[in-house]
Structure 1
């Protein structure tokens, strides 16, 4: 009994230390964003929200935010159109090569972002040489790359939702005379709604914060928000980046809370 108490105490200490190392950088970024200093230094000379206004005035941040939002929204929609039917087929279907297809769908999650971004860039260049159709450095090419990023997350979360619900209700609907399409539309998709919502939100987050793939595929005269942050840090040390990062933290945090409300993300890893 005493050993169990010691183990429990140690586990709580480890959890607290881990949370401290995870949360402290976020709190520090939010704190720095309200410094009045023109150069980040401690202690602060005062506090204010001028850096949030400054971030919105800068074209790179404003246009980067809008482009990231547009790309993430389009990539999430495409990911839903591909990922939801794929998840239905993987959970409810029984066909040759099912395991291989599942591995292919999940493979973008296993490849480092820099490797995937450079590979996509080379592929787009080769495609352009063969077809004379430019894909690299265009909005459609960037959306296509981000769609590859969103599909595995949607498949994973929708699959988790379908597995948890089982197929008993669908079988009952079929026995009562419902057509397969009616079952999908009136039974399967409503039951899988938690996974659909969580998959869409989490995919949007992953796409919105992506840097590794975007940096290879972005076109001249345009930039996503993560790239705008990196470019700004090259020549500036003021808290503007902290203000932008704080807005990102709030958006991502809200989306994660909504995702976890529908599907416990810990069950999908």
Structure 2
């Protein structure tokens, strides 16, 4: 139970899809089906994750490792499962990557060029990524490739990535999934909400903050213990002297 807050952070982190949901909805052929798609996709994801976790724990019990593929008995089967997971990651990565690239582009680079503004619309500090033929320029494609390589390098090079995911999930995940949605909903709809609805959303915010704080402390402590980082606790002998 001591690692449950870390697990909660990882689970919440896996559902933080808010960053690319507006982009996804804006590029759908039938945006009216967005809510239905969102509901059923989250239900399917929740059921599959719960079933996967249950089967893993019933199979390996207390010996279940952070990366469950390390529990698999044979090297061949382990390689097959890892290959499947890599394929799944490659197929799911473009969605958040596309949203992140769009946010970076809109914040730092000018819009598409026009006849009046051949260097791109907007006042961003860098020129447009698009040519007059509405194709990405070579250097823009290079930057996108470098962004992919950077994220891949971070995922591969950082040891104990699961604990880092728990730390990030307990902070950003709880804020994006529990705190900010309720806060902005009350801010926008305050005059139309009844007291029970307001109390319920305040309760969700409090639970999110509480779980987030506990998870951050637990994840940070686990990272410190894993990396053997000495904390700056005061030396009692020095204090007595």
TM-score normalized by structure 1? 0.24
